[in-house]
Amino acid sequence: MMEKVLQLTEVSKSYGSIKALKEVSLTIPKGSVFGILGPNGSGKTTLMSIVLDVLGADSGTYQWFCQPQTANDRKRIGSLLETPNFYHYLSAVDNLKITSAISGRGTNADIDAVLEIVKLSERKKSKFSTYSLGMKQRLAIAAALLGNPEVLLLDEPTNGLDPVGILEIRELIKRLAKNGITIIIASHLLDEVEKICSHVAILKRGTLLTSGPVDEVLSNEDIVEIGSSDLKALKDCLAGMDNVLSIKEDNNRLQVHFPAGTANMEAVNQFCFNKGITLNLLLNKKKSLETKFFELTND
């Protein structure tokens, strides 16, 4: 049986009349890179805040490591929630000493090591208040990484980073995932999630729309992109083909949707040719997370 790191059961949370989370149930398997996606205001940060005991749920429960909830659970989790939160008058090293003392993770040598990883070594003795936005974010990542926690919980980890920084963090996450660390990432950057996640959950206005392994979430339809000089004739022709679920026109080409696993490129080509239409484009397009995301989150 799959080992669970985090289990949420019907968790709800309201801010006054606004329902931020509506009975969200979710299981995060050990060793997964779990992306939590959603537009701004969909409840990603609220969800993370609840499982870190920053906010209290109105109803529902959660369990870390299949055990009754205690503060000690959080010592096993390296977290970056929303913003880098540090004492402005202390240096990076002094701030991490506090993180280490509270969480019990990491030694002085580990502090130097994580600062090296996030490339802050040169400024490690400067006060936090003198850091740029990107440096503050790097320090927050360093704090989460300190002492090799079993689980990383990262809320918009690439916020404020430059393109090189984003790439470095992405590589770092992939490397950590290979070492078996469970990583939970909330993001609105679909590209980011698609590139690194093994599992995904999509939230919209507090409701969990779908969750599961990325392949399963994405692959419930096949899409074939085709084009010809007479798009209208092509569309009419394809409407007569078996298995076609829907046809959308996009950017002078057609996207033809088939049930998962049934799109056959040769059959499509043959079918059109027999109807007297020659194709100038034929592409088997795997559905991107972006398409799926918009499909799910658009009204």
> What tokens does 279 get?
């194709």
Q: Which residue has the tokens 């569309």?
A: 235
Describe the chain by its helix, strand, coil percentages, rounded to 5: 35, 30, 35
Instruction: State the nearest-atom distance from the C-beta of 270 to another protein, in Å.
Output: 59
> Which of these segments, 84-92, 250-258, 265-273, 286-294, binds another protein (CB under 8 A)?
84-92
Give the one residue of 99, 137, 182, 187 binding another protein; rule: CB under 8 A. 99
What is the spatial distance between Cα 25 and Cα 240, in angstroms, rounded to a whole number?
A: 42
Closer CB to another protein, 46 or 255, in the complex: 46
Give the one residue of 23, 94, 150, 225 binding another protein; rule: CB under 8 A. 94
Give the one residue of 59, 85, 107, 229 binding another protein; rule: CB under 8 A. 85
Q: Which residue has the tokens 């990076």?
A: 92
Instruction: State the nearest-atom distance from the C-beta of 161 to another protein, in Å.
Output: 20
Please state the φ and ψ torsions of residue 72, each to the nearest 5 degrees. Answer: -65, -25
Give the one residue of 81, 161, 186, 202 binding another protein; rule: CB under 8 A. 81
Contacts with 95 (C-beta within 8 Å, 6 or more apart), sequence order:
86, 87, 128, 139, 143
Please state the φ and ψ torsions of residue 118, each to the nearest 5 degrees. Answer: -90, 10
Instruction: Please list every residue from 133 through 192 that binds another protein, using CB under 8 A.
Output: 143
Is residue 72 at the binding interface for another protein, with CB under 8 A as the rule?
Answer: yes
Closer CB to another protein, 144 or 209, in the complex: 144
Is residue 88 at the binding interface for another protein, with CB under 8 A as the rule?
Answer: yes
User: CA 50 → CA 58, 119, 186, 227, 247, distances in Å?
Assistant: 10, 31, 14, 49, 42
What is the spatial distance between Cα 142 and Cα 113, in angstroms, rounded to a whole number?
A: 9
Is residue 61 at the binding interface for another protein, with CB under 8 A as the rule?
Answer: no
Is residue 71 at the binding interface for another protein, with CB under 8 A as the rule?
Answer: yes
| Beta strand 33-37 pairing with 199-204 | parallel
* Chain length of the chain: 299
Instruction: State the nearest-atom distance from the C-beta of 160 to another protein, in Å.
Output: 15
Closer CB to another protein, 97 or 285, in the complex: 97
Is residue 83 at the binding interface for another protein, with CB under 8 A as the rule?
Answer: yes
Q: Which residues bind another protein (CB under 8 A)?
A: 52-56, 70-72, 74-75, 79, 81, 83, 85-90, 94, 97-99, 101-104, 143
